[in-house]
Every structure is written in structure tokens, then in C-alpha cells.
Homo-oligomer: A and B are copies of this chain.
Amino acid sequence: MDQTLDVKKAIRDLGVAARAASRLLARAGTAAKNQALSAAASAIRSSQKKILEANKLDVAGAKKAGRDAAFVDRLALSAELVEQMAEGVEQVAALADPVGAISERVKRPTGIEVARMRVPIGVIALIYESRPNVTADAAALCVKSGNACILRGGSESLHSNRVIAACMRSGLKAAGLPESAVQLVEFSDRAAVGELITLPEYIDIIVPRGGKELIARLARESRIPMIKHLDGVCHVYVDDSADPAMAVRIADNAKTQRYGTCNTMETLLVAEGIARKVLPELGRIFLSKKVEMHGDDATQKLIPGIKKATDRDYYTEWLAPVVSIRVVKGLDEAIEHIAKYGSQHTDAIVAGDRARAERFLREVDSSSVMWNASTRFADGYEYGLGAEIGISTDKLHARGPVGLEGLTTQKYVVLGHGEVRS
């Protein structure tokens, strides 16, 4: 039989089941959803051995397939990581339930009352790569926000994901909720993803997590709206009104606290009036931490021996111990630079002057704008969302870290007393 037809049918079946489950989950109470998550966390703990055995198979497979050490590292689980996974599910259970909240209630001259009610989105498909903990995290967030989910993890983590998804489903079952609210795509070929993105009748949003190429391809091809994250070309701009010590501390942290994250600073902009007080010191720090610096002429004068920055460098998300540096005249040039080269992710200003900081916060069109803080704070946990399903660089619906609220939407509720329109 034709394999393509098999995949088509299987994915459609998942969609039909997810849609049905989503209707039941949408009306589930907070207590039942929390019970499901507690039971799932217990199941993860009691399945520790099975999860680790499955994970061993995945790790062996990845090594055999010649995957690099970083890949295997993301894939590999330990007893400690399994415990963290269970705790993560319990933390989601402890978050406030956004569903059902009524806001903006107003009485209209006609007599009707109009309000908005927060409701689940419906069915969410998550497409992700190697980390198996995403299976538990994402399922927990979807269950808590009343959404059914279809999870399509990387084929290299299929054994691990299968056991983890089974734990989540057993939690749903224990709470009397439909198991098909959490479903795993078990086809490893790419056709499965191709199918998922063409079923708007069963899937309301796609959340792709993974490499930029995967996401860009899905964005081109998907017929379903996405909550997605593309580049993170984040900037720190040091205004000449900044405290130099604070500027050095923030720029250092934004670049070197972790190199591979999307909220890491990739380009440092420094006002010419303060460059002399900031760049030599930062040059020493970056040199000592083996951060490769690419600077413009003015920067090269203050930090001798570094590479000349190219125009292309300023567009680059290094995700590595490399930083682009540029000396600018001041705030206007910084804002222009960020508008041209940035990716609307996270950008920070270090400044003592409030009016300039406010202009930066207002005029830089990024999902997070910061004053006197490290870009590394752009994160759902740091913002107090409790958890995040991802960071959105889109403008519609959810911008920046996306937590439970981003997995819901609002409908209008009209309360009348028999009113008709005249």
C-alpha cells in the first residue's frame, strides 16, 4: 500500500481525535486538569527506568547516525533530568488557570452587557527537535490551558517521547479526561510534518521549535497560523549617559552568560561619547573569555587587534563566543541600526537619561525592550509566566515569551435581557 496515503490518513486521524478531545478539554475544570498533571508527574517518576531505557536506544541511534556531541547531549536524559521533568509538570499544575476569566465587562446603552472570556485555542501542533523534555513541558502547558496537542518530536528521540507521552496520557486517563488530548506523531518521515501544516480544520496553531531553516520552511508552507521564533539578533546599546560600570556588567552578561541562546547579545552598540570608558574594559573581558570581537574602525582603535566587522556580521546571530561591535553617534543611530540589522527579538539600552531610555523603549520595535538590564532576562520564567512554550518574534497574537495566556484566546460574551437590535 502507498506509504504517502498511510501518513495522510494517520495524520488526519490524529487531527480528528485531537479536535474531539479539545472540545472535552475546553470544558474541563481546573481541578481535573491539575489532577491529570499530578498523575502524569507521578507516572513520569514511576516510569523513570523505562524512560531511561528508551532514551538509551535513542542515544545509541543518534551516535550510530553520526550525530555530533552537542546533539547527543541535548537528547540524553538522566535520573536527575527525569525528576526535573516531573517537577516541571507539577509547576504547570500550580500555575493559575487562565481559562474562563471574564474581563472588560461593560454595559452598553442598548442594555446588553459585553465582556470577554478567555478560552483555549483548540488544537495545537508542536513540531520540535531532539530534546525529549519538550514532550512533557509542552503537553503540560497545553493540558493546563485546555488545549489538545499533537506532538511531533525529532525522530531521534522517538523512543523517549513515546514513553513520556504515555505518562502524560495516563495522567489524563486518571483524571477522566480524554487521552487523545495528547498525541504523538510516530511517523519519522518528513511527510508527517507536511501533512500537519495543511489541516486547518483540525489544527488551530502550529508551534515550531527548532532550527531556523525548519521554521522558515514551515512558515512558507503552512496553511495554519504559527506562533514562531526566527532570529535572535539582540543588541545592547550603551548610551553616553550610562554608568560605565553598569554598561560593562550588562554587556558582559548579555554576551557571555550563555552563548547559544536566542536572547544572547549578538551586537554591542556604544555611543561615541562613552566608548573610551567602556570598550577597552569590555575588550579585556571578552579577550579573557575568548570571545572573538568584530568591530568597526572606531572600535578597532579602542580594542586593538580585533577583526574588522563586515556589514554581514551585523546581521548575524552568532550563537557562539563571537560579538559584533559598533560605535554610533548616539541614540538615533542606535535605533536606526537596530531597525536595519535587528530581528525584533530583544534589545536593551543602558542609560542614565530617562527621556532617551523612554524613546528607546517606545521606538525600538522588538518583542522585548529593556532599560538597564541584560537581554538574557527575555524568558518566560524570568518574566513570571511560570513556563513558556516558546518565544514569539511574530507580531500578531503573542509577542515575546509565550506562556499559558498565549495558548488561549478571548471570545466576546454578551449578556442580554431580551434585547433586540433596532
Q: Is A399 an interface residue (CB 8 A)?
A: yes
A396 touches B399 (CB 8 A): no
- How many residues of A sit at the interface, in one of the four size bands? 35 or more
CA distance A417 to B257 in the complex (A): 18
Would you give the shortest CB distance from A378 to chain B, in whole angstroms?
Answer: 7
CA distance A369 to B414 in the complex (A): 6
B108 touches A374 (CB 8 A): no
CA distance A112 to B379 in the complex (A): 12
Q: Is A420 an interface residue (CB 8 A)?
A: yes
Would you give the shortest CB distance from A379 to chain B, in whole angstroms?
Answer: 8
B414 touches A409 (CB 8 A): no
B384 touches A108 (CB 8 A): yes
B413 touches A117 (CB 8 A): no
Q: Is A382 an interface residue (CB 8 A)?
A: yes
B421 touches A257 (CB 8 A): yes
Which residues of chain B are near A220, meaning CB under 8 Å? Answer: 223
Closest to A394 in B: B225
B414 touches A370 (CB 8 A): yes
Interface centre among A253, A348, A416 (most CB of B within 10 A): A416
A205-B396, A399-B412 given; A382·B257 CB < 8 A: no
Closest to A205 in B: B396
Which residues of chain B are near A243, meaning CB under 8 Å? Answer: 418
Closest to A107 in B: B384
Q: Looking at the complex, which one of B362, B374, B400, B419 makes contact with A373 (CB distance below 8 Å)? A: B419
Would you give the shortest CB distance from A88 to chain B, in whole angstroms?
Answer: 19
Q: Is A169 an interface residue (CB 8 A)?
A: no
B114 touches A384 (CB 8 A): yes
A369-B414, A373-B112 given; A253·B420 CB < 8 A: yes
Would you give the shortest CB distance from A225 to chain B, in whole angstroms?
Answer: 5
CA distance A384 to B113 in the complex (A): 10
Q: Is A34 an interface residue (CB 8 A)?
A: no
CA distance A361 to B118 in the complex (A): 11
Which residues of chain B are near A395, meaning CB under 8 Å? Answer: 121-122, 204-205, 409
A373 touches B416 (CB 8 A): yes
CA distance A414 to B357 in the complex (A): 11
A374 touches B419 (CB 8 A): yes
Q: Is A329 an interface residue (CB 8 A)?
A: no
Q: Is A401 an interface residue (CB 8 A)?
A: yes
Within 8 A of B (CB), among A230-264: 243, 246, 249-250, 252-254, 257
A383 touches B114 (CB 8 A): yes
Q: Is A328 an interface residue (CB 8 A)?
A: no
A416 touches B257 (CB 8 A): no
Which residues of chain B are near A371, meaning CB under 8 Å? Answer: 413-416
Q: Is A365 an interface residue (CB 8 A)?
A: yes
Q: Is A363 an interface residue (CB 8 A)?
A: yes
Q: Is A26 an interface residue (CB 8 A)?
A: yes
A27-B362, A367-B411 given; A250·B396 CB < 8 A: no
Against B, the Cβ 8 Å flags (1 = close, 0 = not) of A294-338 are 000000000000000000000000000000000000000000000
CA distance A243 to B419 in the complex (A): 13
Against B, the Cβ 8 Å flags (1 = close, 0 = not) of A11-31 are 000000000000100110000
Which residues of chain B are near A252, meaning CB under 8 Å? Answer: 420
Closest to A335 in B: B23
CA distance A400 to B104 in the complex (A): 14
B361 touches A413 (CB 8 A): yes
- 17 A-B pairs (CB sep. < 8 Å): A23-B365, A100-B362, A114-B383, A117-B362, A121-B396, A122-B365, A225-B396, A253-B421, A257-B420, A368-B413, A369-B412, A372-B417, A373-B418, A377-B416, A377-B419, A395-B409, A399-B412
The 9 A-B pairs with the shortest beta carbon distances in the complex, nearest first, are A373-B416, A253-B420, A370-B414, A376-B421, A246-B418, A397-B397, A372-B416, A396-B397, A368-B412
